[in-house]
Structure 1
């Protein structure tokens, strides 16, 4: 693959990651508008986020395995952007929560198309330095997470909802078409038997990643709504949310590099301890002081994003990376999908402050679970 791309491959796939994670994150900053327009409760809004993540769970392992087996990874990856485009464009046409639910399912399927294929492409081009390469690749994802709330806040402060979503939808389709033209299929990583993929260590990693993602998905889903409920404008709420997300551009390459040197388990242990303590600080402090903990929360989450992907491919029982990464990523989405609904219900019943302590408990559970991960990067 390196002979085909030269040094251009990593910038290309990192840019694709930026675009993918941007579209993964456009719904949370839109929630305040959708809640107001469709008269949704926080619980129902959380259910809709959960539905999107659940759809990703159903699609991810199957899509990853089939992309390996049929050697159509670039087509699957590009198709995800087409689905993002259709779903985003359709968001501007809805009038009911049922229509919104259908679009959430569509967006969840789109989420399933990128990460398993990207890990395979990167692993084929970065032998011996997969953690470092995935960390650099993670910078794109972090920038996508960071840009999304800012762009949504700015776009919908200058355009009406339908026009803004139409623009974003057409942009996603254009990105998908471009990637289909410039990406190439790797010659390696044939799919193994699907049943052999699911080792005990892969399941343990999936549990840890899932608990981390419960915190991340729940917290970021309602953080913009929390700031809006405090009286801030949508643009300001997006900017404050980005305080947590921007650090991923440093944390992901750092986490990948450190995991190559000190081991995947050590990175999970350290980052999840940081996540637990920083969430506790955010929950305990009030006012402007709590904002100082947002970058630390971001570090606690993002340090292990690239680590989890390469760790999953290492802990599998053989074959391509698509199926194990799809299983880990998709199952994490399923378990994480319970978080926004539970956090939304907690907000409705007890308020935002109680929901933040709920996230502290989930982060602590993730840290304790990470202690069971294997020290060696091997299947078992």
Structure 2
């Protein structure tokens, strides 16, 4: 057993998932911080939108680029840099005294996130067996979803009680997780391209990413699925306000959607390990379509509507871990890049789809626009059938195990 495998696998999984928790926790600072910096720096709505766009492009859309570089160079040590970068710069953004400083700090924070996700997802694939990759990825994504869900409540509490300076205390947990990752030796795992190719025989058995029809189709499917994942929580409060519901109803429904999504992600990867990647994705989409439709037909608060919303959130997110592992299996020589496409690029493209939903809502009403946006899930379901199963990977010592 090599030195970098001496730490128990479950500890490595826990540390990577904890890192994902804080990475996504820091990623969801802006919604709670915007009202304060808008007043402090005199930001217009347009400028605020540009700020969100800058963070989204850097943190999400650039993930495949970061993953490509990681696949080529094998910079595992960056796992010790990414979370502190996100933590320090996003927490400092509340203290920015100029628009330039604000955009710079937010952009640097996004850079940390863009590197963390493909790198950590690639490392996750190295610390488990092939048969448990989906389950491990579920735990990883569950951690991120929980961090993303609880961030606004924590930040709003601190801002309302002690002000923006108190956000600096939130840097500490990110540093602690990074310190634990250092002690566990996560930065010592060999993800160099030479090691990868020797272990997986990529050059002989697997096509490059740019020739992978399956990967392109899977990215489109994930982007179409992300459309509803972004559009529903973005515009549901608007639809509820238009229906005369108080803000407390919108807050409770968003909480249900986000937390159930986290639980769905935890279950989805495990299911993919049991029934196969393709069957897991198709089954989730097939169930998600009618459930989300029934919810959108009547969004007024009731036990039925909350139950349907919870099922919708769980089913929409349940495909995420399976999609990441499926992409890694389609192009094992570019595992980090594949992860960046599934975790970042697809989500960013889903945001573009959500913008289309908003534009459509200006003309036909937001509730009708959300219903029409379900077409994205239907298209995703149809395209998922066309994605080939990944080729069988060679057996032997290609998977790191205890």
Structure 1 residue 323 and structure 2 residue 354: aligned?
no
CA distance in 2, matches of 1:337, 1:58: 10
CA distance in 1, matches of 2:263, 2:6: 28
Structure 1 residue 62 and structure 2 residue 65: aligned?
yes
CA contact (8 A) 1:28 1:224 kept: no
CA distance in 2, matches of 1:360, 1:209: 14
CA distance in 2, matches of 1:363, 1:315: 22
Alignment partner, residue 363 of structure 1: 377
**Structure 1 residues 160-309: aligned runs within 5 Å:** 160=163, 162-169=164-171, 171-182=173-184, 183-187=186-190, 190=193, 196-198=208-210, 199-223=212-236, 230-232=245-247, 238-289=251-302, 290-309=305-324
Change (3 A) 1:279 1:158: farther
Alignment partner, residue 200 of structure 2: none
Alpha-carbon shift at residue 123 of structure 1 (Å): 1.7
CA distance in 2, matches of 1:34, 1:338: 25
Alignment partner, residue 143 of structure 2: 140
Q: Which is worse superposed, 302-311 or 92-101?
A: 92-101
Alpha-carbon shift at residue 315 of structure 1 (Å): 0.6
CA distance in 2, matches of 1:350, 1:46: 23
CA contact (8 A) 1:64 1:326 kept: yes
Alpha-carbon shift at residue 209 of structure 1 (Å): 0.9
CA contact (8 A) 1:251 1:302 kept: yes
Alpha-carbon shift at residue 178 of structure 1 (Å): 4.5
CA distance in 1, matches of 2:238, 2:85: 26
Q: Which is worse superposed, 115-124 or 183-192?
A: 183-192
**Residue-by-residue CA offset, 1:204-230 (whole Å, 9 max, x unaligned):** 111111112222233334556766885
**Residue-by-residue CA offset, 1:45-70 (whole Å, 9 max, x unaligned):** 55544432322355322322332333
Q: Which is worse superposed, 128-137 or 203-212?
A: 128-137
2:117 to 115, 118, 138: 115
Alignment partner, residue 8 of structure 1: 11
For normalisation by structure 2, the TM-score amounts to 0.78
Alignment partner, residue 76 of structure 1: 78
Q: Which is worse superposed, 162-171 or 126-135?
A: 162-171
CA contact (8 A) 1:256 1:304 kept: yes
Alpha-carbon shift at residue 134 of structure 1 (Å): 1.4
Structure 1 residue 25 and structure 2 residue 40: aligned?
no
CA contact (8 A) 2:19 2:83 kept: no
Alignment partner, residue 91 of structure 1: 93
Alpha-carbon shift at residue 330 of structure 1 (Å): 3.7
CA radius of gyration, larger in:
2
CA contact (8 A) 1:88 1:168 kept: no
Change (3 A) 1:286 1:34: farther
Q: Which is worse superposed, 186-195 or 270-279?
A: 186-195
Alignment partner, residue 398 of structure 2: none
CA contact (8 A) 2:78 2:187 kept: no
Unaligned 5+ residue runs, structure 2?
198-202, 393-402
